[in-house]
Amino acid sequence: MRIDEARLKNFYEEVGAKYPEEEVVYHTLKGRLRKKFVLNFVRGARGRFLDVGCNTGVYLRHYENGNAIGIDLAHSVLKKARERLPRNSANKFYFLVGSAEDLSFLSENSINSYLCSEVLEHVFHSQKVFNGIARVLRPGGRALVTTPNYRKNRPQWVEIGVLKKYEIEGDEYFHSAYRPEEMAGMAQKAGLRVLEQGTLEWEIKYTTKLPVLILWSIRWLNRRTFKSSALESWNQALFERLSAFIYLLGHFTQLEKIFHFFIKEGVRSYVILTK
């Protein structure tokens, strides 16, 4: 079963209730690299802050320079986001169920800082996301959008993969990707100005070369012999540990500078926008 637009909200309600994304994704090397990049934007933001597709509030809870609004399609994750807020914060946090494609319930020119991280790839009408940014962002405000990058063919429908492990129904869901220049084009079409565009998580391309060979080899052996879920979990953990070790080795020996010379793009795209 494909998770089409009609099933989208129910699908993400189920994902939000069953899949511990924050615990899974942000314990990986790519998750930590992404979080570091996005938090740099969040900590430099000012005024009323909007996090579209906020999930459990992994970024929102770190905002300290004004009041903040978190929007997500799934009420199940907004409940978790509220529970995980810092108790001693002087800021006010508001949570609303809503879509990145339709921010008509927010006033025009009402947001100083806008974040939309890892959401664009899940929406069916990406231009509407940038139209929404142009509508709610105040003149001089800033917005950050991140999404997976791709090289040759843009993905669309992908298998739900690891979500099956958490007893989530469905076979395929919409999960696309965009190059930085494509996002910049949509932003400009909406009337926004591009301050910066590029890619991140380029480190993944060298840190995972050896670990992924080990991962695939053990996975191939396991699926044809032991068929052990425990071995599969151990294998995935080994992959993450080896990748992190290679990253730290490259970072502290400065070898990453040599790797960066040969690696031109990261696995994730971003744009920073203003109006």
Q: Are both 81 and 157 inside the same structural domain?
A: yes
Q: Are both 18 and 41 inside the same structural domain?
A: yes
Alpha-carbon distances, residue 128 vs 131, 134, 196, 202 (angstroms): 5, 10, 20, 28
For residue 231, the model assigns a pLDDT of 94
Q: Do 113 and 50 touch, CB atoms closer than 8 A?
A: yes
Q: Do 216 and 200 touch, CB atoms closer than 8 A?
A: no
Domain containing residue 52: CATH number:
3.40.50.150
For residue 4, the model assigns a pLDDT of 85
Q: Are both 219 and 84 inside the same structural domain?
A: no
Single out the residue of 86, 89, 84, 83 nearest to residue 67, CA to CA. 89
Q: Compute the distance between CA of residue 149 and CA of residue 250 in angstroms, rounded to an integer.
A: 23
DSSP letters, 98-143, are -BTTB-TTSPTT-EEEEEEES-GGG-S-HHHHHHHHHHHEEEEEEE
Q: Are both 210 and 95 inside the same structural domain?
A: no
Q: Are both 226 and 106 inside the same structural domain?
A: no
Residue 6, burial from CB neighbour count under 10 angstroms (0-12, 13-18, 19+): exposed
Q: Are both 240 and 143 inside the same structural domain?
A: no
Supply the Cα-derived Rg of the chain in whole angstroms. Answer: 19
Q: Are both 240 and 173 inside the same structural domain?
A: no
Q: Are both 103 and 45 inside the same structural domain?
A: yes
Q: Are both 82 and 130 inside the same structural domain?
A: yes
Q: Are both 107 and 144 inside the same structural domain?
A: yes
For residue 9, the model assigns a pLDDT of 94
Single out the residue of 268, 275, 233, 9 nearest to residue 120, CA to CA. 268
- Tell me how many domains the chain contains: 2
Average pLDDT per 10 consecutive residues for the chain, totaling 275 residues: 90 96 94 98 97 98 95 97 86 94 97 99 98 99 98 93 92 97 99 99 94 95 92 94 95 92 94 98
Q: Are both 14 and 117 inside the same structural domain?
A: yes
For residue 88, the model assigns a pLDDT of 78
Query: What's the token pair of residue 232?
Result: 């599969």
SS3 content of the chain, % helix, strand, coil (to 5): 45, 20, 30
Q: Do 264 and 206 touch, CB atoms closer than 8 A?
A: no
For residue 187, the model assigns a pLDDT of 99
Beta bridge partners of 273: 143, 194
Question: At a CB cut-off of 8 Å and minimum separation 6, what does 207 contact?
Answer: 29, 243, 244, 246, 247, 250
Q: Are both 44 and 176 inside the same structural domain?
A: yes
Domain span at 256: 206-262
